[in-house]
Chains A and B, each alone.
Chain A
């Protein structure tokens, strides 16, 4: 399983764009990158997933460079309600049933300030 490294915490102000980078130097050819968001007292919520280049949805964008050794979650114009922990997961989507692909790290605590 590709080990991931994220910053422990980040602060931002309302209206700013926030970029959270996840390092995964040992990512394998079949590994996908998935990001989740967790609010206090709730379970994590899926945000976005990608394999290479750029993926965008209504919530965020995910940038993955050509070497795929890192990825960046970009949240446009954050608000106070975006304060949460963000987790990066990397795993082989074809290895069905492999428990190791479902491991969350400690995540990044994003605090949005007024």
Chain B
């Protein structure tokens, strides 16, 4: 049982390049999330999808787009990468969007933008 799988694990981009971070979960969860984690700042929510077919902005959505491709997959796209987007990106899923449904996280994608 893989849980939440993120690809790639590492990525280096030049300013202005685009890329898509992939996330898939095999737990039949309804809700999925993208976070970024910067040193000393904890995790900040970028976008989330409460259920298949819906997406909503989180705390720091600027510069990102998301696609809930199906129930299993939730991708995060950077259209024009900037150095400020250098971070570790975590995808998570939960059975439902309410707080008492624990989040299950992937192991992250470490992105560096030069």
Contact = CB atoms under 8 A, between A and B. Distances in A.
Genuine A/B complex: yes
Interface of A: 31-32, 34, 36, 41-46, 49, 87, 89, 91-97, 99-107
Nearest to B110: A41
Interface residues of B, number: 29
B99 interface: yes
Judged by DSSP, the binding face of B is: loop
Contact of B58 (A34, A41, A102): A102
A97 B4 contact: no
Contact of B50 (A43, A49, A97): A97
Would you list the 8 A-B pairs with minimal beta carbon distance, nearest first? A43-B105, A46-B102, A104-B43, A93-B99, A104-B42, A91-B99, A99-B58, A106-B42
A89 B50 contact: no
Interface of B: 4, 33, 35, 40-45, 48, 50, 56-59, 90, 92, 96-100, 102-108
Contact of A103 (B40, B59, B97, B107): B59
Contacts of B100: 32, 34, 49, 93
Contacts of B44: 103-104
B105 A99 contact: no
A34 B102 CA distance: 9
Contacts of A45: 105
Contact of B45 (A46, A95, A103, A106): A103
Contacts of B41: 106
B98 A96 contact: yes
A76 B97 CA distance: 31
